[in-house]
């Protein structure tokens, strides 16, 4: 992805989020220049990758395969320095922009339609060898147990959510004609370096072409002190 594209996406995301009167934490507004003056007091942000996360999964087709994420809070499964056992994210999914099929080895998460369009979620159980299973999927949706056939497209309207357990394959996107969706994620600690299992091989973070200065640093770009 070009840096100019990432900058544009972040600026548009900030306007979209503000439209829901959701206030982002201070670090979401820090510039690259601001980060030059941040010391060890900001270790939790650096170590646990809080902040902006724009990904095209290595396909360079963000409008078709991609996602905007902002990690608002996060603990760390691999560092005893951090005792927080939970994480929270905001995500933005555009119409027909797919977050590709994947599961998490350890993380349980609630995916919540916070507002906007209709969120479409496709679910599969996983097999022992990492493939998708042709078996019914049981999930909890806002305290109600729901059973769907493998690969059925579950629609979540604003205010609705689904609980995703470890090893449960899921892909999602905003339904065509409904508009972009503001998604909330409440989960156990998030680790995007080791806890994602994609059905097809792909990257997690984009390769960036630096055609202009960054408007905001991404969560994997903070300077090391």
Task: Per-residue pLDDT tens, the chain, 225 aa: give them.
Answer: 999 999 999 999 999 999 999 999 999 999 999 999 999 999 999 999 999 999 999 999 999 999 999 999 999 988 999 999 999 999 999 999 999 999 999 999 999 999 999 999 999 999 989 999 999 999 999 999 999 999 999 999 999 999 999 999 999 999 999 999 999 999 999 999 899 999 999 989 999 999 999 999 999 999 988
pLDDT for res 77: 87
What's the DSSP call for residue 142?
A: T
The answer to whether the beta carbons of residues 170 and 148 sit under 8 Å apart is no
pLDDT for res 225: 82
Q: What is the layout of strands, in order, in the sheet containing 196-198? A: 153-156, 119-125, 168-174, 99-104, 196-198
The CA dihedral of 46, 92, 216, 225, to the nearest 10 degrees, is 10
Gap between the Cα atoms of 36 and 18, Å rounded: 27
The answer to whether the beta carbons of residues 204 and 100 sit under 8 Å apart is no
pLDDT for res 177: 98
pLDDT for res 62: 97
Beta strand spans in the chain (E) = 51-55, 67-74, 86-93, 99-104, 109-116, 119-125, 137-141, 144-148, 153-156, 161-164, 168-174, 181-188, 196-198
The CA dihedral of 94, 200, 145, 106, to the nearest 10 degrees, is -110
Report all structural domains of the chain as residue ranges with CATH numbers, in order of start: 3-22+50-198 (2.60.120.10)
**Per-position b or e across 164-176, b if 16+ CB within 10 A of its CB:** beeebbbbbbbbe
pLDDT for res 42: 97
């Amino acid at each position: 992805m070009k840096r100019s594209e990432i900058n544009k996406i972040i600026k548009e995301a900030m306007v979209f989020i503000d439209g829901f009167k959701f206030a982002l934490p201070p670090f979401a507004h820090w510039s690259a220049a601001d980060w030059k003056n941040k010391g060890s007091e900001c270790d939790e942000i650096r170590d646990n990758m809080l902040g902006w996360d724009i990904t095209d999964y290595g396909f360079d087709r963000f409008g078709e395969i991609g996602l905007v994420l902002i990690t608002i809070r996060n603990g760390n499964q691999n560092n005893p320095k951090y005792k927080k056992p939970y994480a929270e994210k905001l995500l933005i999914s555009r119409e027909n922009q797919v977050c590709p099929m994947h599961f998490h080895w350890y993380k349980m998460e609630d995916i919540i339609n916070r507002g906007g369009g209709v969120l479409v979620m496709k679910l599969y159980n996983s097999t022992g060898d990492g493939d998708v299973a042709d078996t019914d999927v049981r999930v909890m949706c806002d305290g109600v147990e729901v059973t769907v056939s493998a690969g059925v497209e579950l629609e979540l309207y604003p205010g609705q959510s689904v609980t995703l357990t470890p090893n449960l394959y899921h892909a999602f996107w905003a339904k065509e004609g409904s508009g972009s969706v503001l998604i909330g994620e409440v989960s156990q600690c998030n680790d995007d370096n080791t806890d994602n299992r994609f059905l097809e091989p792909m990257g997690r973070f984009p390769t960036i072409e630096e055609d202009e200065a960054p408007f905001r640093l991404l969560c994997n770009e903070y300077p090391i002190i």
